[in-house]
Chain A
Amino acid sequence: MLSVAGISKSFRGLKAVSGASFDVAQGSITALIGPNGAGKTTCFNMIAGVFPPDSGEIIFDGGKIQGMRPDQVCAAGIGRTFQIVKPFAGLSVLDNVMVGALLREKGVSAARNLSLSVLKKLQLEEKQDAPASTLTLPDRKRLEVARALATRPKLLLLDEVMAGLRPTECDLMVEVFRELSRADGLTILLIEHVMRAVMALAQKVMVLHHGEIIAGGAPAEVVRNQAVLDCYLGEETEV
């Protein structure tokens, strides 16, 4: 469904991503992991249209999407969340989700119905009238997901939505994504540091290090891969 081929991006000479390639299969849950500064969010931003890659190709649903604006990428069917949450602070929780829902719903009342059902899925329905500025961080993360889901994406990009959640809250989120994948056939690509969530969710894991994909495969294989262990734990050296 999503095919990333050799994308690179430099910021003032610093290579953030160099020649990364990976595929996300229809209906799958794929995780992109790697140490801090590996270029994961840069990859996301290129897919989501925040900036174009310097080189390489991004194909979604059979069409090229590199160089599109974020709103065009969203309209093409890719929803995203932000690592640093960006709620519409002055609006209510429901209105936040309504903004997303209005993309594909005809009319305000249809958008409200969709928003309410999305809020229910993420267990935010009791807070629908609260201003987004009053939410706690876990709720804000959930709101990010709700807003993106309301645009009815075919592919959902999740940027560290588990960070800062307690283990029980994390398991709850995992359940939500599993359900979305199973029942709605949603394809998910997530950046995640919380291995608990990665192991529970992902069918495939890609490891990014210094802007390059160094390993990829089933989660259980990847965590035993020597190159991955080296980049996370450091190489063994003779003393």
Chain B
Amino acid sequence: MNRRALGLLAILGIFLLIFPKIANPYLVSVATLILYLAYTGQAWNVMMGFAGQLSLGHSLYVGVGAYASAALFSRYGIGPWAGVWLSIALCVALGAAIGFLAFRFGISGVYFALLTIAFAEFTRVGFDHLDWTGGSGGLFLKVAQRDQIDLANFRGPPEMYYYTMLFLCALALWGCSRLLKSKAGYYWQAIRENEEAAQALGINTFRWKMLAVVISAAMTAVSGVFFAFYYNNLFPEQIFHISRSIEIILGPVIGGVGTLFGPILGATVLTVLSDSITELLAQFGWEIPGIKQVFYGVVLLLVIMFLPNGIWPALSRKLGLGK
């Protein structure tokens, strides 16, 4: 990263820090959603972008992370600061189980992706029938008092959630950039580019792929906890659904798989454009169900056709920001 890039990053950081002071509540909620998608996309990117392992079932980790903390809170009044560790532990265990099954038995590529979908799907069906978390009827948290901050239970005004997500995004960006420059980063990219050659250079590919899955699952668990305490209601049909997984990966795919800023840029572009289109149509009095999904499809198509590496690599070259 060169000086110009650092400068721009600093300006962006300051802008995001003062954003809630200058924007209306609607824009803050949109920005929170963008940050949520950017963070979750960053987590997915560790697995696919860095280590080349395609997961199409990341809703599994969001869902399990969300349900674990939410259930602890609604059942026993244990707050998310403790709950998040349970969420992380469960997601790490699940990720390790999927990774072990796949990597021990040589399942890779599309078949690995199918396995991740399968796990997300049968977890969804399982939660549909798990009465302890409300089954298909859903799990609800008491709606937060919007005018006072209760940090211990992570209840408070929208700005609190915004800043939490901003902090997580910054942390993930910093963490991922460190990872990429570490031994793990080199090894993951080698595995992504050519697994056989990586192994011939002494890399225990099983171990390093497992590490990528586990880190990605742990990061995604945290977004699940956020999801639960921000939206206050969880339905298996919604949170585990494959469309959730697709939503997570669209950001990094459009922004640039394997890049650090791709997930952030992609989430921003998608959310801003799709929300403004929905708003614009509403202005004309048109409420078209599913227009957002159609729009996602069109953007994806255009990016794949014209910028197959994503928007970020092209933009970064244009702005002279280096890698």
Answer whether residue A216 sits at the interface, using C-beta atoms and an 8 A cutoff: no
A89 vs B190: C-alpha distance when bound (angstroms):
9
Of the candidate stretches A90-98, A167-175, A229-237, the one touching chain B is A90-98
CB neighbours of B203 from chain A (8 A): 71, 99, 103
A69 vs B199: C-alpha distance when bound (angstroms):
8
- The number of chain B residues touching the other chain, given as a range, is 20 to 34
A95 vs B194: C-alpha distance when bound (angstroms):
14
Answer whether residue B231 sits at the interface, using C-beta atoms and an 8 A cutoff: no
CB neighbours of B186 from chain A (8 A): 95, 98-99, 102, 108
A110 vs B68: C-alpha distance when bound (angstroms):
43
Answer whether residue A86 sits at the interface, using C-beta atoms and an 8 A cutoff: yes
For residue B148, give the distance in angstroms from its CB to the closest CB of chain A: 47
A103–B201 CB distance below 8 A: yes
CB neighbours of B204 from chain A (8 A): 69, 71
A91–B201 CB distance below 8 A: no
A70–B182 CB distance below 8 A: no
Given contacts A71-B205, A108-B183, contact A99 B199 (CB under 8 A): no
Scan A147-166; emit 1 where CB is below 8 A from any B CB, else 0.
11011000000000000000
Q: Which residue of A lies closest to B195 (CB)?
A: A86
For residue B132, give the distance in angstroms from its CB to the closest CB of chain A: 43
A95 vs B186: C-alpha distance when bound (angstroms):
7
A89 vs B189: C-alpha distance when bound (angstroms):
10
Interface positions, chain B 175-230, Cβ under 8 Å from A, are 181-183, 186-187, 189-190, 192-194, 196-205
A80 vs B196: C-alpha distance when bound (angstroms):
12
A91 vs B199: C-alpha distance when bound (angstroms):
16
A87 vs B199: C-alpha distance when bound (angstroms):
13
The A/B interface has a contact count, at CB < 8 Å, of: 71
Q: Is chain B's interface secondary structure helix, strand, loop, or mixed overall?
A: helix
A99–B198 CB distance below 8 A: yes
A103 vs B190: C-alpha distance when bound (angstroms):
13
Count residues of A near B (Cβ-Cβ below 8 Å): 25
A74–B189 CB distance below 8 A: no
Given contacts A71-B202, A102-B186, contact A108 B197 (CB under 8 A): no
B200–A102 CB distance below 8 A: no
B200–A75 CB distance below 8 A: no
CB neighbours of A188 from chain B (8 A): none
Given contacts A71-B205, A102-B187, A108-B182, contact A91 B200 (CB under 8 A): no
Answer whether residue A100 sits at the interface, using C-beta atoms and an 8 A cutoff: yes
B194–A87 CB distance below 8 A: yes
A75 vs B200: C-alpha distance when bound (angstroms):
9
CB neighbours of B181 from chain A (8 A): 108
A151–B197 CB distance below 8 A: no
B190–A99 CB distance below 8 A: yes
CB neighbours of B182 from chain A (8 A): 108
CB neighbours of A88 from chain B (8 A): 189-190, 193-194, 197-198
A69 vs B200: C-alpha distance when bound (angstroms):
9
CB neighbours of A86 from chain B (8 A): 194, 196-197
Answer whether residue A22 sits at the interface, using C-beta atoms and an 8 A cutoff: no
For residue A93, give the distance in angstroms from its CB to the closest CB of chain B: 13
A88 vs B181: C-alpha distance when bound (angstroms):
16
A95 vs B192: C-alpha distance when bound (angstroms):
13
For residue A43, give the distance in angstroms from its CB to the closest CB of chain B: 16
CB neighbours of A100 from chain B (8 A): 201-202
CB neighbours of B189 from chain A (8 A): 88, 90-91, 95, 99
CB neighbours of B198 from chain A (8 A): 88, 99
For residue B155, give the distance in angstroms from its CB to the closest CB of chain A: 43
CB neighbours of B196 from chain A (8 A): 70, 82, 86
Answer whether residue A48 sits at the interface, using C-beta atoms and an 8 A cutoff: yes
For residue B99, give the distance in angstroms from its CB to the closest CB of chain A: 17
For residue A45, give the distance in angstroms from its CB to the closest CB of chain B: 10
Interface positions, chain A 106-151, Cβ under 8 Å from B, are 108, 147-148, 150-151
A74–B190 CB distance below 8 A: no
B194–A74 CB distance below 8 A: no
A-B contacts, 7 listed (Cβ < 8 Å): A48-B200, A70-B199, A86-B196, A86-B197, A88-B194, A102-B186, A103-B202
Which B residues contact A (CB, under 8 angstroms)? 181-183, 186-187, 189-190, 192-194, 196-205
Closest 6 CB pairs of A and B: A74-B202, A88-B193, A86-B197, A103-B202, A99-B190, A70-B199
